[in-house]
Structure 1
Amino acid sequence: IIDLLLSGKAEDRVRVTALLDEIRGIFRHLTLNYSLVRILMPFFAWILRRQVTFQSAYVNNLTEYTTFWNDALVPPAPDGSGRWNRQDIPAVAPYAFLYSRYAGPEATHPRQEMPDIDLQADRIAAAYQTGDSLSYFLLERILVIMGLSDWKKTLPILKSIEKTVPGTEWFDYSQMSFIYVLYQLGLKMDTLEPEVADMLERACRDWTLRCRGYFSAHNSHVANPLKLYKRNVMSWYAMVWCAHNGDKPDESGQSVPLFRELLAGAIKDRDKELLVHLVNNISELITDSGDIYTALDLIKVVFEGIPSQEVLDEFDAGASDRYPDTAANLVTLFGNILGTAKNYFPAQVNDFLARGVIGLGFPGIPKYKDDILSYNPGGEKLSDLFTHKFGNFIIWALIHEESVDEVVADCLKEAASTQDSAAWFDRGVRIVLRSLLKIKI
C-alpha cells in the first residue's frame, strides 16, 4: 500500500482503496467482526512493540524514543528556561495541516488564515539542541510541510539550525536530521530553491566526510552492539539531483558532482572506510529511488579508479576497526549490489555488464558476468519499512491526505500526555486501527 501511494499514479490510488477494503474484509472475517482484535489487543501491541524495538540499527526506534520522557532532557511542561518541552508537541502538531488546508492546490481554507510559521521558530531552535529522536521525527515532517507551504518564512528557521547545531553535543545526529529535511524539500519542490541545493550540498559533504555513515544518539550505546546508528545521506543528495536533472546515462561525467568528488577523494586516498560508505549509498540509490543509470555511472567511476588487482589489494587491506562494513571484500560488495540491481532493472544491468565496462580492469568484472544471475538478495523486513519507507510515506501523506494529517497529529499529541514510549505506542496503534480499519478499542 505504501509503495502504491508513493508512486503518485491515479490508478495506484484506486488499487490502494481496493486493498484497504480487502484488509477490512479479511480482518472482519478472521476476527469475528473485530471482536478477537479487541480481546487480543495487548498481544498485538506487544508484537508491534517488539518489531519497532528490535529495529535498532537506525535511530527511529522505541529504545531511542524513550528519551522524550526523560524530564531532564525534555521537561514535561514549560520551566521558564525556554527549553523544548513535552507541551510544545501539541503546539507544533497542528502545523501538519498547513499544506493540505491552506497552501496546497486543494486547500480547504483561505491562505490568509494559515498559522504563522514565525511563531514556532524559537521552539524549533530549542528542540534542535536536545538530540531527542521523537522530537526530531516530528519536526522533520513539520519543517517539510512549512517549507512547502511558505518557503520564505521557513528559510530563516533552516538557516538558524544550520548555524546553531555545530558544536552541540548531538551535532552529528542533528545535522543528519537537518539533511533529511532538505532532502525531502528538494524532492517535493517543483523548482529546487538554490538555498536548498546549497545547504544540502554543504551539509552532505561535511557529514559524510566526518561521520562516514554512523552517528551516536542518547541510547545508541544500548540499542545495538555497534553502539552507533547508521544512515546514508549521499543517496539523498543524489535523489534530489536526479529529481531535478533526470536519471540518465552521463558520458560527460557532470552528474551528481559532489558524489563524484567524494568518490574520487576516497579512491585517491585509498580510504576504504569512506569508499564502502559511498558504495552503500549507491546501493540505496537503486533500491529506494530507482535511479539506476546514475547509480551505474557511479559504480563505473569506482571501476575506473581501481584498474588492477594491486590497487584492489591496497583497499582490501585497509579495513577499519571502527565499522564492520569495511571488512567486506570490494569484489563481493559490488557483486551483491549488482545482483540486487538486477532484480529491479535486469535490462540496464545486463547492458552495463555487456557494454558499459568494456576496457575496464576492475578485477571483479569477469566474475560478475559469470555469476550475477545466481545472486539472490534477502527480502525487506518490517524493521526496514519502519525506518525509511514509512517515514517517507508520512511526509507524502501529510502533503496529499488531510485524513492522514489528523491521524499523525492525534498520535503526536498523545506523546505529551503518556508516561513512556510503550504507552504512547499503544495509543498510536489504537488511533491507527480506529482510523484505518474503523475498529474502536
Structure 2
Amino acid sequence: MIIATANSCTHPPRRPFRAGGEISPAGRTKTAPPPRARVDSLAFAFVSCQNWYEGYYTTYRHLAQEDLDVLFHLGDYLYAHGVGPTGGVRGIALPEQYLKETFTLTGYRNRHALYRTDTDLQATHAAFPWMVTVDDHDVENNFSQIDTEPDQDRQIFLQRRAAAFQAFYEHMPLRRSALPWGAGMRLYRRQAFGRLAAFSVLDTRQYRDDQPCGDGEKAGCAERLDPDRTMLGERQEAWLLDSLGRSHTTWNILANQLLVAPLDHDAAPDVQSFGMDLWDGYAAARDRLLTGMVQRRMRNPVVISGDIHRSLAAELTTNFDDPNAPVMGVEFAGTSVSSGKDGADQDRIGQIFMRANPHLKFHNVQRGYVRAKATPDTLTVDYQVVPYVSRPGAPVSTRACFAVEAGRPGLHQTADNPPVGVRFVPDVAGPLDHLAEQSAR
C-alpha cells in the first residue's frame, strides 16, 4: 500500500481485491500527515536481507504484532541465485525453475511469488505500509551501474536488470514515479511525516561507480580514495544534499542499503582493511555526504542501513581518524531477517570490528529487526533479535536499546541489556534460550 497524505495519521482498512480469480485478504494501512503538521510521535521499523531458504521468517511473525506507522525494507527482498532442490532449511521440494539463478522476467516474478508464500511475510505486508528500495541480490550480487559479472555480456545484464526492476515494481508498494523504463528505475525519494521526521530513501546500486580494486575486502586500496568516485551518482547526490539543506523536520533520516560508517576488518593498529562494496570503497563520496550535512546545518542526522547481516550502532563524524572529532550523527545498521542462518550473539569478526573501530558502540550477529520511535525530543531504537531461524517458533527479545537526544548527537544506551558486543562494558554473555515452543506451520 502506498503512503498517502491526509490531514492526520489514520488507520483505514485495505479492501480485498480480486486478481487472477483469487480474492486477497484484507489489511490495514496508515496515511502520512501533511509536511508541516505537528506530529508527536512516529513508530517505525526497518529490515533487510530475507533469504527464503536460509531461514524461517519468524522475525516477521513478531514484527507483524508491532504497532507501527511505517516499515522500511532496505533491500535484498529476494535472492536471485538458485534456491536448491529442497528449499534449504524449509525442506520443501521445488520445481526445477527455482534451482538455477534467475535472469528472466518470468524467473523474477516466480521468485517474488515464492517468497510471498510465507504467511508471516504476508501478515507483515497486511499490518502497515512499507517503503522499499532494492539492494544487489534483488538483481545480481554486487552490481553497480552497468558493471556485470566477468562471464556475463553487458546487454544480457541490462536485460536482466530490466526484468528484475519490472518484477520488483509489480510486487512492491511503489508510486507510479518508480515505474521502470528499460533497465532504469527511480527509487530514491523523500517522505516527510509532518515536522517531526523526514526519510530520504536512497539507491546505492544503480548509479555507483564500480567497486575499487576488484571488489572484496582490501588493504591499501588507493582507488577507494579517488575524489571523483561516486556512490549515489551526481544527480542523486545533488538531490539529497539539496533536500537535506531545505529540511525543517526535527529528525532527518537516511534509509540506505549499506553501512556508511567505516568498518576496518583488521585489528592490527598499523593495518586497515575495508570492504570495497560498502561506503568504505567510496570514501570521498562519504566525506561529501557527511561534510555536506554539517555545512547545511542539518538537524539531527540519522542513518539506517542493512545489507551486512549484523546489528551495529555507530557514531558518525567528518573525520574518523581523529578520536577527538565531534560526533555529528548516528547510524543504526540492522541485521538480516534470515540471511546468514541462525547467527550468534557475537563472533570473531565482530570482536575485531569492535576493537578496530572505536566509533562502533554495539555489535550482534543474530537475526531480527530494528524498531524505533521518534518524538520531538528523542529517538529511541531497539534491536529485536531471535535466537534461531533454522526452525520455526523462536521467541523475540530486545538485545540493546539506544536513545539519541534532539540537538545532542551521540548514542546513549538506555537499558540494562546483556553487555556482549557493547563497547565499554565487560564481555559477559548469558546462554541463548532455545527452549521456545515450536509453532505450527
Q: Do Structure 1 and Structure 2 share a fold, with TM-score over 0.5?
A: no
Larger radius of gyration: 1
Q: TM-score, normalised by structure 2?
A: 0.33
Q: Which of the pair is proportionally richer in helix?
A: 1
